[in-house]
Structure formats: C-alpha cells, structure tokens
C-alpha cells in the first residue's frame, strides 16, 4: 500500500467514525461510534467523546482505538491511543498521532433511527417510482418499509430526501428482507456512493445522534 499521510484526512470539524473494542472481545468486528475532529495539536488529535445510550463511552487512557476515514471509495483505519480525557459540557478524547495505517473493507456503519422519504424502483425498469420511507440510515445503507417483498440482490434506483431538501440519488442492493408481513422491512446497501454524498449522510447521522443524546435517548447501533 502506498504511504498514507494522516494529515490529508484529519481536518478540524471533519466527521469521523471511531472503532473501539469496548467489550474487550479482541474481535475484528469492533464497536463503531460517530465522532468529530475538534482540534489538532502538534502531538495529539482532539476528538469528540463517543456516546452510547446517552452516556460517554468510558475509554481508558492507554487504550488503542482506530479512526476510520473514507476517501475516493477507499477506507482506512488510523491506529492511535487515548493519551488523555477532558470532561465538561462537551467531553473530548486526546488521541496520539497515528502510529499505523490499515486499508480496510467497510464492515459496519453507525446507524440512527429516522423517518426519511424514499422513492424507489428496480434499476433499469421504466416503471414509476414507488413511495417508501427509511426507518434507519447509515453511511452505508438504509432500512426501508415496502408493500411487497423484494428479492435479495435486487438492484434498486433510490431517491432519498435528507433534511434541507437534499435528494440523494443512488443505486442500492437489497441485502435482506427482514419479514414477510406488512410493513415489510428490507435492508439496502448503497452502491458506489461518492464521498460528497456519503459525507452528507454521515453529517445527518451525527446530527441525529446529538439530538438523541440531548434527549437522553441515544439511538445508535
């Protein structure tokens, strides 16, 4: 892999995901939390403390965690350690400068409950779009309510309305049909999403997380 400079990715106010093994399972699949770069020091990166169920995740000093970034369709983990914690109204973690970079295949995204209007139809068809609603969303896909079962691996053409009247036009692959009684829920994975659109969705997810946290009912998985 070509040399990756973390400075090309880590910018103040940039939304990020943190991978943390909070249960000490030592598994490849770690817990994922939304965060944001708050500041960059000469020897440390300051990020918003992750939350779960309305409480700050207790990440001890010395714990190794990973900052996850995507750029141009590729995803990387910047391995770092917690070197300090600062409390207050907006608690933050102080992380070391990354000591290792790993290129990854995307495994999971932070998801939040939502109620977003969706139009869909089978890709390549000339039928009218069907109205639907997304009940949860992440940077990698949505869970939608539909009237009829849709077979796994079906490609759909989607138009998802994000707040502020942004319409995301993207293709999605049906990954699973969760039940066969109405309302039917299907999982759809985004296909070839560009960085600008993904950033828009992640920004929406981050905003929803903060809203839930303020209400004391954080909704993340």
- What HEC string does the chain produce? CCCCCHHHCCCCCCEEEEEECCCCCCCCCCEEEEEEEEEECCCCEEEECCEECCEECCCCCCCEEEEEEEECCEEEEEEEEEEEEECCCCCEEEECCCCEEEEECCCCCCCEEEEEEEEEEECCCCCCCEEEEEEEEECCEEEEEECCCCCCCCEEEEEEEECCCEEEEEEEEEEEECCCCCCEEEEEEEECCCHHHHHHHHHHHHHHHHHHHHHCCCCCC
Using the predicted structure, report yes or no on whether residue 122 has a pLDDT greater than 60. yes
- Give the mean pLDDT of 204-209: 74
For residues 176 and 124, give the distance between their C-alpha atoms in angstroms, rounded to a whole number.
20
Neighbouring-strand partners of residue 12: none
Contact 35, 47 (CB under 8 A): yes
Average per-residue pLDDT for the chain: 82
What pLDDT, on a 0 to 100 scale, did the predictor assign at position 212? 61
**Any idea which of 60-69, 85-94, 174-183 has the lowest mean pLDDT?**
174-183
Using the predicted structure, report yes or no on whether residue 65 has a pLDDT greater than 70. yes
For residues 171 and 190, give the distance between their C-alpha atoms in angstroms, rounded to a whole number.
6
**Any idea which of 25-34, 36-45, 67-76, 81-90 has the lowest mean pLDDT?**
25-34
- Total residues belonging to the chain: 221
Ordered domains of the chain (ranges, CATH): 6-104 (2.30.110.10), 112-212 (2.40.10.220)
Using the predicted structure, report yes or no on whether residue 208 has a pLDDT greater than 90. no
Using the predicted structure, report yes or no on whether residue 26 has a pLDDT greater than 70. no
List phi, psi (to 5°) of 112.
-135, 150
Confidence band (pLDDT; 50, 70, 90) for 84?
Answer: very high
**Any idea which of 60-64, 103-107, 122-126, 165-169 has the lowest mean pLDDT?**
103-107
**Any idea which of 28-37, 94-103, 185-194 has the lowest mean pLDDT?**
28-37
**26-35, 49-58, 113-122, 161-170: which is most confident:** 113-122
What pLDDT, on a 0 to 100 scale, did the predictor assign at position 40? 93
Give the global pTM: 0.55
């Amino acid at each position: 892999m070509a040399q990756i400079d973390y400075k090309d990715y880590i910018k103040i106010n940039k939304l990020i995901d943190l991978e943390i093994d909070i249960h000490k399972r030592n598994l490849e699949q770690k817990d994922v939390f939304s965060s944001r770069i708050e500041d960059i020091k000469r020897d440390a990166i300051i990020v918003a403390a992750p939350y779960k169920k309305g409480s700050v995740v207790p990440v001890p000093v010395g714990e190794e965690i990973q900052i996850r970034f995507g750029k141009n369709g590729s995803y990387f983990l910047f391995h770092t350690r917690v070197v300090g914690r600062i409390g207050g109204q907006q608690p933050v973690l102080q992380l070391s400068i990354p000591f290792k970079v790993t290129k990854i295949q995307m495994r999971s995204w932070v998801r939040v409950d939502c109620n977003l209007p969706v139009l869909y139809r089978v890709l390549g068809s000339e039928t009218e779009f069907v109205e639907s609603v997304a009940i949860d969303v992440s940077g990698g896909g949505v869970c939608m309510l539909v009237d009829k079962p849709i077979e796994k691996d079906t490609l759909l053409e989607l138009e998802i309305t994000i707040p502020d009247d942004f319409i995301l036009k993207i293709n999605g692959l049906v990954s699973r049909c969760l039940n066969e009684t109405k309302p039917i829920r299907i999982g759809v994975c985004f296909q070839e999403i560009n960085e600008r659109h993904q950033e828009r969705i992640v920004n929406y997810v981050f905003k929803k997380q903060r809203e839930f946290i303020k209400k004391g009912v954080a909704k993340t998985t």
